[in-house]
């Protein structure tokens, strides 16, 4: 299964793992309504959903944070959005910055790369302005 950031997609043709042959044979379908998608367009946006041994989704990449890798993972932050690198909750990182800390201090405190902090803050500012 994959996500493009707004839908869950299933690849009915995947039998070769994550190989070039599997990518060439990819037939992605939106789980919600069975609609096929244009692979050439979607390939740039796809992120794999990771599953736990019990069959439930475990790590879901989240859209809308620019280039920052933000995921929902119940093993970290009680499933709240967290940065893949550093493992900090997005809410905590933004809160520390809004409390007056510099980006450098926030980056060092939480181990989140500066470029990812900037992306998250841009998105938070845009949502707040809307």
CA dist 44 and 4 (Å) reads: 9
CA dist 71 and 62 (Å) reads: 5
Domains of the chain: 1-48 (no CATH), 61-130 (1.10.10)
pLDDT higher than threshold 70 for residue 16: no
Task: Encode pLDDT of 81-126 as tens digits.
Answer: 888 888 899 999 999 999 999 999 999 999 999 999 998 888 888 7
Task: Encode pLDDT of 21-54 as tens digits.
Answer: 555 545 777 677 777 765 665 555 555 667 788 8
């Amino acid at each position: 299964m994959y996500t493009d950031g707004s839908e869950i997609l299933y690849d009915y043709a995947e039998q070769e793992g994550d190989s070039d042959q599997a990518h060439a044979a990819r037939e992605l379908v939106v789980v919600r309504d069975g609609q096929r998608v244009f692979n050439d367009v979607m390939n740039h946006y796809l992120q794999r959903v990771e599953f736990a041994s019990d069959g439930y989704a475990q790590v879901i990449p989240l859209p809308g944070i620019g280039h920052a890798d933000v995921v929902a993972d119940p093993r970290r932050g009680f499933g709240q959005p967290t940065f893949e690198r550093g493992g900090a909750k997005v809410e905590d990182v933004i809160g520390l910055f809004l409390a007056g800390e510099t980006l450098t201090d926030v980056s060092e405190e939480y181990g989140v790369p500066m470029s990812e902090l900037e992306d998250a803050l841009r998105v938070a500012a845009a949502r707040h302005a809307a």
